[in-house]
């Protein structure tokens, strides 16, 4: 038996960034200026200023909050002095218990006012910091809707960013694809080539790897998803970087020995996925044996199938002849042996039994890469 070869599973998918965020302000103010690289197609680094808001009102609010903290701090000091005086008078039986309780309550109230003032100061300081809207990570700007002088409020979308670090694509696998792989989980860690959609023979755009399996089956297409990750997907590269949301083709190479699949010439596959095995007989001739196959992949040259009772090296009938049936005796014609193997010539045994005149070819489980491509090609 020959060593099993490989087959390329090709599916389409959309390029999705790992992280995508909207640029939104946290305070109501007018835009003072925009960052130089905050434009569609611009690249920004983590911490770069995207938008600067006007600061005058926010700075004034901080000064006012700081003043209130000082006032509250002074009130706490005064309340504590009053409490100590009442405690001393109470020890000397000069002040009443009621006045001491009032002093204690006064301290608690002043301390609460100080805590409130400090919280307001923290808020005012944070709002002043929020006047500079910064990039949360290294990113590519995919949208901008901001302009200097524009009045904005919290939650208004001023633009969109996608992380330049990595992209993920969902590669949808049909049941046949999963069978070839020996299970979706068997593909974890497998390399995947990213190609332009419709240009499977073109230059690869990137190389990715299968990092996870999608826990959900897509209801419409009933496909099982592999999550393919490409590092630095949107960085400048040869021939070009990937584009957010573009449709690409993903090619994953699987070994056929995982499923016992075989490669046969396309013309050997008859109606209803039937193969006719040319079985040698003791007298040096052969008989036809019908075998039902499950087609895994197929193109104009070859088909990759799973067929019970068919092994590498077995011969199958190539020609389309009427009347083929189980047990039909044939004779192999060595004179026509060539690239496709031997042919089986029709003969008459004199007892009414007819034999075929049909070319045959050896079944192989060798390299089918390029000869067999996906049947259902849907993206995730």
Q: Hey, what domains does the chain have and what are their CATH numbers?
A: 6-17+165-257 (2.40.30.170), 22-49+137-164 (no CATH), 55-130 (1.10.287), 262-362 (no CATH)
Dist CA 24 CA 53 (whole Å): 12
Q: What is the reported pLDDT for 219?
A: 73
Dist CA 43 CA 142 (whole Å): 10
Report, as ranges of residue numbers, the positions in the chain whose pLDDT lies below 50. 1-4, 335-357, 365-380
Contact in structure between 233 and 250 (CB atoms under 8 Å): no
DSSP designation for 364: B
Contact in structure between 20 and 160 (CB atoms under 8 Å): yes
Contacts of 51 (CB under 8 A, 6+ apart): 23, 25, 31, 33, 34, 35, 38, 132, 133, 146, 158
Q: What is the reported pLDDT for 367?
A: 37
Q: Compute and round to an integer the Cα radius of gyration of the chain.
A: 39
Q: What is the reported pLDDT for 307?
A: 77
Contact in structure between 311 and 292 (CB atoms under 8 Å): no
Q: What is the reported pLDDT for 3?
A: 33
Q: Using CA atoms in the order 68, 72, 73, 79, what is the torsion angle rounded to 10 degrees?
A: 160
Q: What is the reported pLDDT for 355?
A: 45
Dist CA 186 CA 33 (whole Å): 52
Contacts of 339 (CB under 8 A, 6+ apart): none
| Helix, strand, coil tally for the chain in percent (to 5) | 25, 40, 40
């Amino acid at each position: 038996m020959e060593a099993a070869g490989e087959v390329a599973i090709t599916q389409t998918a959309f390029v999705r960034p790992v992280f995508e965020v909207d640029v939104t302000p946290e305070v109501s103010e007018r835009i003072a200026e925009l960052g130089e690289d905050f434009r569609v197609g611009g690249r920004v680094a983590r911490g770069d200023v995207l938008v600067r808001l006007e600061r005058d009102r926010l700075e004034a609010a901080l000064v006012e909050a700081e003043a209130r903290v000082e006032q509250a701090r002074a009130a706490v000091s005064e309340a504590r002095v009053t409490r100590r005086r009442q405690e001393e008078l109470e020890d000397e039986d000069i002040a009443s218990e009621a006045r001491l309780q009032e002093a204690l309550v006064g301290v608690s109230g002043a301390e609460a006012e100080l805590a409130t003032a400090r919280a307001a100061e923290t808020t005012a300081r944070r709002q002043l910091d929020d006047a500079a809207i910064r990039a949360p990570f290294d990113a590519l700007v995919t949208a901008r809707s901001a302009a200097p002088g524009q009045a904005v409020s919290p939650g208004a979308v001023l633009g969109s960013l996608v992380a330049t670090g990595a992209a993920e694509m969902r590669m949808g696998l049909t049941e046949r694809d999963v069978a070839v792989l020996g299970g979706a989980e068997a593909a974890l860690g497998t390399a995947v080539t990213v190609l332009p959609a419709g240009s499977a023979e073109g230059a690869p755009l990137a190389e990715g790897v299968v990092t996870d399996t999608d826990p959900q089956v897509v209801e419409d297409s009933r496909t099982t998803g592999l999550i393919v990750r490409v590092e630095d997907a949107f960085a400048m590269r040869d021939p070009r970087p990937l584009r957010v949301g573009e449709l690409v083709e993903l090619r994953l190479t699987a070994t056929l020995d995982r499923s016992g699949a075989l490669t046969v010439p396309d013309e050997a596959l008859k109606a209803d996925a039937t193969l006719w095995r040319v079985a040698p007989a003791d007298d040096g001739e052969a008989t036809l044996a019908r075998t039902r196959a499950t087609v895994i992949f197929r193109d104009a040259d070859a088909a990759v199938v799973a067929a019970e009772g068919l092994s590498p090296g077995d011969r199958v009938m190539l020609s389309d002849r009427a009347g083929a049936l189980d047990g039909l005796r044939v004779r192999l014609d060595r004179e026509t042996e060539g690239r496709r193997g031997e042919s089986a010539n029709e003969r008459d045994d004199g007892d009414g039994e007819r034999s075929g005149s049909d070319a045959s070819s050896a079944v192989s489980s060798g390299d089918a890469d390029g000869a067999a491509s996906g049947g259902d090609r849907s993206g995730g």
